[in-house]
Amino acid sequence: MGNDFTSALRPAIVMTILFAILLGIGYPLAMTGIGQTLFPAQANGSLIRDSGGKVIGSTVVGQAFTSERYFQTRPSAAGDGYDGLASSGSNLGPTAQALTDRVKADVEKRQAEGVTGAVPVDLITASGSGLDPDLSPAAALAQAPRIAKIRGLPETRVRALVAAETKGPMLGFLGEDRVNVLALNQALDRLGAGPAQ
């Protein structure tokens, strides 16, 4: 009987060790190597650097822009706002008073900034992850008058910049048109300021 137990236990232990090495070490190393070889920028976080080489953000993780000179991102429910360590939605339902109060305050804030008409929904609601780096073109265009006025640029030029930075659905049919806010603000800085007004 003891001999049967030992002969049955040995293959189980060997297979456990083999699969631990294969799937715990071999597979992750292979996937890391493939990622670093075929998609190095994406595997390293899709980082964006300034002209001096300093990391200023990522194309796939949103960040808050507080200056009125920049396009603002959508609200974030991640920690204290765009905290990558606290990625999540707010889990507040449509009948939650806290959500209603926050959305009302955001609508008033956007209207005070000069957004007229209906405020685009992504300027007043957080994304599911709380870290969405993109806005709809409508949300970016709603901010164009403020940006044009503060920077002394013609509004048509700011609107053309938004159109130039707008990306279509992935593969032509997945998702909607979108504008990466960090890329848009970088393009805005390259555009410079208009004549002093």
* pLDDT tens digits along 23-49: 999 999 999 999 999 999 989 888 888
Give the number of domains in the chain: 2
Report the C-alpha gap between 105 and 144 in whole angstroms: 21
Banded pLDDT at 153 (limits 50, 70, 90): very high
Mean confidence (pLDDT) of the chain: 87
Q: Which residue has the higher pLDDT, 30 or 51?
A: 30
Task: Dig out the tokens for 139 from the structure.
Answer: 């949300």
**Is 60 exceeded by the pLDDT of residue 156?**
yes
Report the C-alpha gap between 107 and 139 in whole angstroms: 12
For residue 197, being part of any structural domain is answered with no
- Pairing type for strands 178-180 and 166-167 reads antiparallel
Contacts made by residues 122-126, CB under 8 angstroms, sequence distance 24+: 122/74, 123/72, 123/74, 124/74, 124/75, 125/74, 125/75, 126/74, 126/75, 126/76, 126/77, 126/89, 126/90
Same domain, 139 and 115: yes
Same domain, 182 and 89: yes
Least confident piece of the model among 35-44, 88-97, 145-154, 168-177: 88-97
Same domain, 72 and 154: yes
Domain that holds residue 66: 55-192
Same domain, 39 and 118: no
Look at residue 2 in the predicted model and tell me its pLDDT.
60
* pLDDT tens digits along 82-102: 777 777 667 778 888 988 998
* pLDDT tens digits along 115-124: 888 899 998 8
For residue 50, being part of any structural domain is answered with no
Q: In this prediction, what percent of the chain has a pLDDT beyond 90? A: 45
Residue 170 β-bridge partners: 174
**Is 70 exceeded by the pLDDT of residue 104?**
yes
